[in-house]
Structure 1
């Protein structure tokens, strides 16, 4: 837009001091030869690709404009004069002598440079460097799209700064990779860095050796060429933003920047654009949902395997827990939204688990909101649990340290910070089971065979027959029971301790599949198919186990077929319950 508005007065050759608006509505102020030259350059440049591809379109347009200019000079003799002719570039100051004279003057001027001059130049220099950098990077993005290349921003700006410093020594003015000249270069076929270097070299050569010829280049022809470039730069698709309600504000920002740039200047336009974009960003943050997923405790469970009675109890008591996965930024614009989202739950729930894995930032307003949630839960003898806190936010903030500094996490407060979501769910489940009186008594003695859930309905004779084929196994804390890929055919029954099932991943990490406790069993897959272990098992505490191998079980089944059938039925029933539980959780998570 700025390019087009700056070139229209030159195309029409309006008198000095006349504004564009006044000039457009007053055709008598137009120069007929200038209009003819400019329109000829525009038509020639547009039609050039249809006539030839070997000569760049701007060269064809410029040549056509010059022909018309000299043709017009036959009827307007003043066009054949260089002095005072507004339709040509005019005599250029240049030559090697002028360059060295300018260089000497610059170095001489440095002698009088003082602190006051530095202070006076600092702000304009900083502003100019910022605008030129933005202009260059904007041009680089457009050129990347046209040439399917990738620019190095740091390298480009370093080169621009060095070039401007050297240019200043010769009396040059600071410049940037402007869109107009760059697109003329790209449209002419110059798509590599070498084309930019050659363009600069040819410009210098022309200044030094062909200055008298350049003086006769028609200004309207150059204006016409740049008007074509400006038209091709115009993104007409951006007008489609007006059609959709969701993008009308984005169009308003662009329109405001253009209006300010045209009516005031680029610095003010950049400031307006940044301010409006920031307001739109805050609006999007505040209007977007900070809650990514919300579920109740009876819809999801920890990886701690529970016995049927415990699962049934948690299914009834789980409604007292709400689990929220948060996302985005927790600040003054979203805290009220989160509190409103949880308001109904806080009236019925006693435990709230907030998963902060996807949170990007937190401010003091959000901390105050979390304290409000904690206070309301404490009134119901509940607790707030925070899990999966990012070790480092994009801002560099350590969230756990920040919560401690602002007093959210203290021994006397009712907020618990845990590492993983699974640990938070397990904490809540243990608390609910303890209140329901279903927590197994803490005992150092391993369970006897009849206390194992799988053998709960077996009589004394059957238990005696089973005891003969079982072997007792002791596993130290942290030691593996078996590893993934091991061969084996044993199912393990836990008499004491806890065992975690893990699948090893790359980089030494593990995926936590499940955790089993007293009275439960694991390792049934290899027992059933006699294949290799699909996962590993590690003792979380000193653990006592019963091990039943498939080979010894087959021997038992041949002598006690009813016992073998009963054990298989019990094992199948337990596995079916586990699969049903997994299916229910997947369905509820999908609905959430």
Structure 2
């Protein structure tokens, strides 16, 4: 047990150093994003900043994916704008607590297993869409600015990509931020700073319950928002956990992650923060900077708290071009560049699913809609593929007609199944389903119709070869008294 604790928190001494430095990079990059998400939600910047502190620290303790970063996010912020506008920020805190409780319930109900139905094409589309959105989010910092901004961004990217060729002792994004901050402050360059994004906190947050009436009416107001936030938060967290799993070639406990996300959001609301979830951009920063264990996530939250509470005035002078350079690096590193040549190599259906996922996410700025579109399209393509794996062979022998069915009989294949049977004008008919499988009541209903139709034509019908699962389905749902179906269970 101690070994597991040590590996999840510290690893080797060298790993602990990398985790600490990676956490510092993430903390600096979190500040402008948390402020921006607060603006989206229509709340004070402190609401997003304290949420990021609380969520990062708590998820490092409770989460199921070491090295993944969770904080206030745009995906959740956009959902609560109407709630804040119509009812105020206290209702946001109440909705966030309920969001956490729903996520905890989802963990106990093992809803994390739904990730098994998300195809690789959807995950690739999700990643590419986020990379595009991360880059698009930097565009406002590139419009209407002086040449100093472009020069600093170029210098920042040069440091980020060239420094690792000389040394990897210190994460290159951290060096870029420190160097550009020193140059900006030292020469008083005319560039935007973190302080221009919004007012930073001047005191530590306090622990308090939301100041709302605990009534049925309040529940009716917040429940729709809480349910949506919980679903979107878990969806993005589960997908990000899968991506970090792939990047680090390790596994994660996604059920524990559901529970941890719930606890983290409850903690965020209690310190006056908004809801959040896993962040793919910050997680990529953490992993590429060397962060692997829970320590990196904890340091991100703790360092953010220290920066805000102790070094607030200095943090406010950090130039935005330095952080823009880091986020451009994240965008480039997040995008799956192999997916472009794979468009020709992969099956067309997989490529379509990926492209649709990207387009829906980018045009709606809604991750949930994009992933839902991709999953639904994947399901339709899969059903169509299975539908084609179906055949009916007709043969005659001694006055008996035999139909040999092979493949899967379900809602998508019942039309072909039904049309394969001809009018037999009173001849004996045997339907052999020994190499077929009935999946649903649509398949059973189709068999009912076929047998009934043949009997109306005066045919004696016998169905043989059910496997055990199909026989059980027919036993329960077929209309034996009308169709005369005879069970002949033949084990495969």
CA contact under 8 A between 1:89 and 1:219: conserved in structure 2? no
How is 1:326-405 mapped onto 2 (pairs within 5 angstroms)? 326-327=407-408, 329-331=409-411, 333-343=412-422, 350-355=429-434, 358-363=437-442, 366-376=444-454, 379=457, 381-391=459-469, 399-404=473-478
Structure 1 partner of 2:308 = 207
Q: 1:271 corresponds to which residue? A: 369
Distance change >3 Å, CA 199–CA 348, structure 1 → 2: farther
TM-score (normalised: structure 2): 0.64
- The 5-angstrom pairing of residues 5-154 of structure 1 reads 5-10=136-141, 12=142, 14=143, 29-70=144-185, 72-73=187-188, 76=189, 92-96=200-204, 99-100=205-206, 103=207, 106-107=208-209, 109-110=210-211, 112-154=213-255
Richer in strand (by share): 1
Q: Does 1:420 align with 2:490?
A: yes
The one of 223, 241, 256 aligned to 2:324: 223
> Mapping of 1:438-449 within 5 angstroms?
none
The 2-side partners of 1:38 and 1:346 are apart by 82
Residues 427 and 459, structure 2, Cα contact 8 Å, conserved in 1: no
CA distance in 2, matches of 1:228, 1:358: 51
| Structure with larger RCO (C-alpha < 8 A, sep 6+) | 2
Name the SS for the 1:326 alignment partner.
strand
Q: Tell me the matched-pair count.
A: 361
Q: How does 1:173-252 map to 2 (within 5 A)?
A: 173-240=274-341, 242-243=343-344, 246-247=347-348, 249-252=349-352
In the TM superposition, residue 160 of structure 1 has moved relative to its aligned partner by: 1.1
1:211 positional shift: 2.2
Q: 1:165 and 1:358 mapped to 2: Cα distance? A: 47
* Structure 2 contact 195–315 (Cα < 8 Å) conserved: no
Q: Give the CA deviation at 1:384.
A: 3.2
Q: Distance in 2 between matches of 1:413 and 1:391?
A: 20
Contact between 2:425 and 2:459, CA under 8 Å: does it hold in 1? no
Greater shift in the superposed pair: 369-378 or 162-171: 369-378
- Aligned partner of residue 486 in structure 2, secondary structure: strand
Higher share in helix:
2
User: Does residue 1:322 correspond to 2:403, yes or no?
Assistant: yes
Root-mean-square deviation (CA, aligned residues, Å) is 3.5
Q: Shift of the alpha carbon at 1:373?
A: 4.3
Give the structure-1-normalised TM-score: 0.54
CA drift of 1:134 comes to: 0.9
Unaligned stretches of 5+ residues in structure 1: 15-28, 299-315, 423-592
When residues 283 and 182 of structure 1 are mapped into structure 2, their CA distance, relative to the original with a 3 A threshold, is closer
1:384, 1:415 within 8 Å by CA — same for their partners in 2?
A: yes
Aligned to 1:457: none
Distance 1:378 1:286, change over 3 A: farther
Cα distance change on mapping 1:35 and 1:41 into 2, 3 Å: same
Tell me if structure 1 keeps the 8 A contact 2:134–2:331: yes
2:200 touches 2:312 (CA, 8 Å); kept in 1? yes
Residue 53 of structure 1 and its aligned partner are, at CA, apart by 1.0
What's the secondary structure of 1:243's corresponding residue? helix
- Change in Cα spacing, 1:111 to 1:246, as seen in structure 2 (3 Å) is closer
Which of residues 377, 380, 392 in structure 2 aligns to 1:282? 380
Contact 2:261 2:277 in 1 (8 A): yes
SS for the counterpart of 2:252 is: coil
Deviations along 1:516-567, whole A, 9 cap, x unmatched?
xxxxxxxxxxxxxxxxxxxxxxxxxxxxxxxxxxxxxxxxxxxxxxxxxxxx
Instruction: Supply the distance in 1 between the matched residues of 2:345 and 2:375 (Cα, whole angstroms).
Output: 18
